[in-house]
Amino acid sequence: MKLTLVAQQASVRLASGKVVEAWTFNGRVPGPPIRARRGDLVEVTLVNRDIDDGVTAHWHGVDVPNAEDGVAGVTQDAVRPGARYRYRFRVDQEGSFWYHSHQVGSEQVRRGLCGPLTLLPRTPSSTRELDVPVVTHLFTGSFAIGADDTLQHRAVAPATTVRLRLVNTDDTPRRYVLAGTPFRVAAIDGTELNAPPPIENQTLELGGGARYDVTFTMPPTPVRLQVVDAPAGIVFSANGSGDVAATDSRVLFDPSSYGSPKATRLGSMARFDRRFRLVITRKPGFFDGRPGLQWAVNGEIYPRTPMFMVSTGDLVKMEIDNRTNSFHPMHLHGHHMLVLSRNGRPVRGSPWWVDTLNVRPKEQYEVAFLADNPGLWMDHCHNLQHAAKGLTMHVVYKGITTPFEAGEASGNHPE
């Protein structure tokens, strides 16, 4: 799979007719869908046409080798206007991901430098399937699915298997409802759930950066996906017309008790080689020389936030304790984390793997991951406004250093 992504400013017309001044890949928002199969070599050439601060491409949720991770100041220098950069990785996962710039991420992602990334099984499935990336994004004042800020209609033959790949590219959590059919949450953050049962009338809440795959068999009657509190939605029906009401059920889908338990590649987890604690609080202090109420991790303000050191092969347990009144979608690069417990209660359903965990106000989690991908990895809040204000840490393997630098002198600003 070869592709060129050109980062460029563009005026983009949304379906309603409204024009947004966006920063785009290839002149469109979201950027072009990237689809590859397990085993494929993905080769992406990133060209920066006119984004002054420079850009990168980060493959969110794909556990690529560290050098391909696309983080300015950590794994490369930002690609300056007129310059280009080549990414190369072999696909070893299947599921729903996305890509976005990781240079001044808090501004560049918001302006549109992101797109869907779908990794498919080695061989195409033989059944009739409709596969729809549902990338939701808030442009200045307009909320859209893809570039459509209206209620869309799509014709789908009854009995078709439909997979909606929900991607929340925004900083804040987003809620989605699916009306007109029972459905399953088939996957979270690119990992299939074990034995997901059909559910109905449950609202799905995705934290910033998260993905849920929702599957259903198209009935003869209309089905509607609706983004809660937004005009954007999709009505699926046999002939492309008709509708069905979709209201927020207020019953939140709970991944911690959904599906069936199953052994994981982490084994029994009888012992952990390392334990980390990540306590998020607010405290007065200075950030970037300015006084105010700052995000603190373990009592420290960035850049004094922790560097978690691991060795290859370590089984790591991490506790996340959010003592604030804000949502913090915590994202670890290069690894997937198995959620063990929430608020002291063990996960009872399917193994629940995440790369971006929607930590809600005052919640506590225990997660585990295997240190099997050497490098220097970011671990940060995917509310990128928070990350830019210091909710950023690193997981670093012993003996690994980087020749790249972040900060004013280098021009690299990952967040």
Q: Which residue ranges make up the site for ligand C2O (CB under 6 A)?
A: 58, 60, 100, 102, 209, 331, 333, 378, 380, 382
**Residues ≥6 apart with Cβ < 8 Å to 308:** 274, 276, 316, 318, 379, 393, 394, 395, 396
In the complex with ligand C2O, the residue whose CB is nearer, 322 or 383, is: 383
Cis peptide bond prior to 220, omega within 30° of 0: no
Strand-pair partners of 88: 43
Give which of Cu ion, ligand C2O, none residue 175 binds (C-beta under 5 to 8 Å, depending on kind): none
Give which of Cu ion, ligand C2O, none residue 383 binds (C-beta under 5 to 8 Å, depending on kind): Cu ion
Q: How far is the CB of 397 from ligand C2O (least distance, A)?
A: 17
CA-to-CA distance for 295 and 285, rounded, in angstroms? 9
Letters for 297-336 (x = contact with Cu ion by CB under 5 A, - = none) are -------------------------------x--------
Q: How far is the CB of 337 from ligand C2O (least distance, A)?
A: 14
In the complex with Cu ion, the residue whose CB is nearer, 210 or 391, is: 391
Q: How far is the CB of 71 from ligand C2O (least distance, A)?
A: 7
Q: Is 149 left (phi over 0), alpha (psi -120 to 50) or beta?
A: alpha
Q: How far is the CB of 386 from Cu ion (least distance, A)?
A: 3
Q: How far is the CB of 122 from ligand C2O (least distance, A)?
A: 26
Torsion sign across C-alpha atoms 381, 64, 186, 156: positive
If one asks whether residue 386 binds Cu ion (CB under 5 A), the answer comes out as yes
Q: How far is the CB of 132 from ligand C2O (least distance, A)?
A: 21
CA-to-CA distance for 300 and 111, rounded, in angstroms? 30
Contact status, residue 353 vs residue 389, Cβ threshold 8 Å:
no
Residue nearest to ligand C2O (CB): 60
Give which of ligand C2O, Cu ion, none residue 211 binds (C-beta under 5 to 8 Å, depending on kind): none
In the complex with ligand C2O, the residue whose CB is nearer, 24 or 169, is: 169
Cα angle value 60/265/196 (rounded, 5°): 70
If one asks whether residue 360 binds Cu ion (CB under 5 A), the answer comes out as no
Q: How far is the CB of 299 from Cu ion (least distance, A)?
A: 17
In the complex with ligand C2O, the residue whose CB is nearer, 188 or 347, is: 188
Furthest-apart CA pair in the chain: how many Å?
Answer: 61
Using CB under 5 A, which of 204, 381, 384, 406 touches Cu ion? 381
Cα angle value 160/162/164 (rounded, 5°): 165
The single-letter DSSP state of residue 231 is: S
If one asks whether residue 383 binds Cu ion (CB under 5 A), the answer comes out as yes
Q: 3: number of CA atoms within 13 Å, CB side? A: 21
Residues numbered 159 to 198 that lie near Cu ion (CB under 5 A) are none
In the complex with ligand C2O, the residue whose CB is nearer, 100 or 184, is: 100
In the complex with Cu ion, the residue whose CB is nearer, 139 or 327, is: 327
Identify the three-state secondary structure at position 360: coil
Q: How far is the CB of 70 from ligand C2O (least distance, A)?
A: 9
> Nearest-CA neighbor of 412 among 55, 63, 126, 68?
55
Torsion sign across C-alpha atoms 285, 290, 296, 297: negative
Give which of ligand C2O, Cu ion, none residue 317 binds (C-beta under 5 to 8 Å, depending on kind): none
Contact residues for Cu ion, defined by CB under 5 A: 328, 381, 383, 386, 391
